[in-house]
Amino acid sequence: MPKCLYNLHSSVDYVNYLTCHELPPEATYQQRKKFLSEVRFYFWDNPMLYRRCSDHMIRRCAPEEAFRAILESCYSSSYAGHYAAHKITNKVLQSSFYWPTLFKDA
């Protein structure tokens, strides 16, 4: 899983914390504080990681290998067209998927 810019963590870090209560070992104090404030939105239902988003919808966290395929399917569907990034992210979110870099990747 990718380590993203400034305090965003990978799904592996969230799963490790939710199952074993292990914090990311390389994280600084500020990153740990941020991580602990973010982890409350995630829950683990073996074998899937889910996130409760700000609209109170529960979305499945997509694995890194699926990011590209999900975005391509949103871009290439018959009703898609070539929309702005925020339209594509809305389509991904409506499909009940989420990943930490979704808004940057679209």
Q: What is the per-residue pLDDT for 8?
A: 42
In a domain, 97, yes or no: yes
Per-residue pLDDT band at 83 (split at 50, 70, 90): low
Contact 31, 23 (CB under 8 A): no
Going by C-alpha positions, the residue among 73, 78, 79, 59 that lies closest to residue 106 is 73
Domain membership of residue 79 (yes or no) is yes
Q: Say which residues have a Cβ less than 8 Å from residue 103's Cβ, sequence separation at least 6.
A: 85, 89
> Domain for residue 15, yes or no?
yes
Q: Which range marks the domain in which residue 35 is found? A: 11-105
In a domain, 4, yes or no: no
How many structural domains comprise the chain?
Answer: 1
More confident of the two residues 39 and 4:
39
Give the global pTM. Answer: 0.65
Residue 60 lies in a domain: yes
> Of residues 74 and 79, which shows the higher confidence score?
74
Split at pLDDT 50, 70, 90, the class of 77 is: low
Q: CATH number, domain at 30?
A: 1.10.340
